[in-house]
Amino acid sequence: MIKVRTPTLLVNLKTYSEGTGKRALDLARAAEKVGSETGVYIGLAPQFADIAMIAQSVSIPVFAQHVDAINPGAFTGYILPESIKEAGAVGALINHSEKRLVLADIDATLNRIRELDLASVVCGNNPEVSAAAAVLNPDVIAMEPPELIGTRIACSKARPEVVTGTVKLVRRVNPKIVILCGAGITTGDDVAAALELGTDGVLVASGVVKAKSPYKTLLDFASSMTRR
């Protein structure tokens, strides 16, 4: 079963003010509009407390930003996979650069994710780490060079060899996986460049969330995906 359609445009709201609560919902509505206008698969990763509200209000897929490798039980403050699923999430980011996991927990989290038929997006910080993670068979690998995250210097423009290296190493261990890249993606050109390099889409955050008009930015991004 295909869990994440391509080309893929995944928006991580992080803990930005512009992506919290009511403003997260505004963003979700903009993303839903662009998705329906362009046909591009747009997913949104809001904060945990906003998952339910967004999943109930829009039809686009909602991802958790993290999930713990736990079963139901005594884990105060943890993120239970069942909880984010019941709230309406269809998947989760795992091992984002800002929320790294020990290797064994990436594996254990993926087992729990599969058990609940959720989609998994494992992040890696370089080609080698992405390939190692790909051995564990997630649905999506998203490679982001940490030094470009939050900048306006696109990985697809500034570090093309890291993107193609990721595609090559990941495909070698796991040919079917969806591959995204991210960090610094700010324009439709950056998105087009990412696809040119062999990826299936992008993982974006501040470039959309902090844009003057998230709707226009998303439309620019999505259009550059369908134009190819």
In the complex, least distance from residue 28 CB atom to a second copy, rounded to whole angstroms: 14
Calculate Rg over the CA atoms of the chain: 16
Query: In this structure, what token pair is assigned to residue 136?
Result: 């564990």
Could you give the string, one character per residue 156-185, with x where binding to a second copy holds by CB under 8 A and - elsewhere? -------------x---x------------
- How many whole angstroms from its chain centre is CA 92? 8
For the segment 38-97, give every residue that binds a second copy (CB under 8 A). Answer: 45, 47-53, 64-66, 70, 72-80, 82-84, 86-87, 89, 93, 95-97
- Using CB under 8 A as the binding criterion, the count of chain residues that bind a second copy stands at 66
Q: Which of 66, 144, 147, 196 is catalytic?
A: 144
Cα separation, 46 vs 23, in Å, equals: 10
Cα separation, 150 vs 187, in Å, equals: 14
| Strand-pair partners of 204 | 11
For the segment 7-26, give every residue that binds a second copy (CB under 8 A). Answer: 12, 14-17, 20-22
Half-sphere exposure for 25 (CA within 13 Å, toward CB): 10
96 part of the active site: yes
Taking CB under 8 A as the criterion, the residue among 115, 135, 196, 213 binding a second copy is 135
Q: Are 91 and 113 in contact (CB under 8 A)?
A: yes
Identify the helix (H) or strand (E) that includes residue 34: helix 22-38
Cα separation, 178 vs 7, in Å, equals: 9
- 131 interacts with a second copy by CB under 8 A: yes
Contacts with a second copy, residue ranges (CB under 8 A): 12, 14-17, 20-22, 45, 47-53, 64-66, 70, 72-80, 82-84, 86-87, 89, 93, 95-107, 124-126, 128-129, 131-133, 135-137, 149-150, 169, 173, 205-206
Which residues belong to the active site? 96, 144
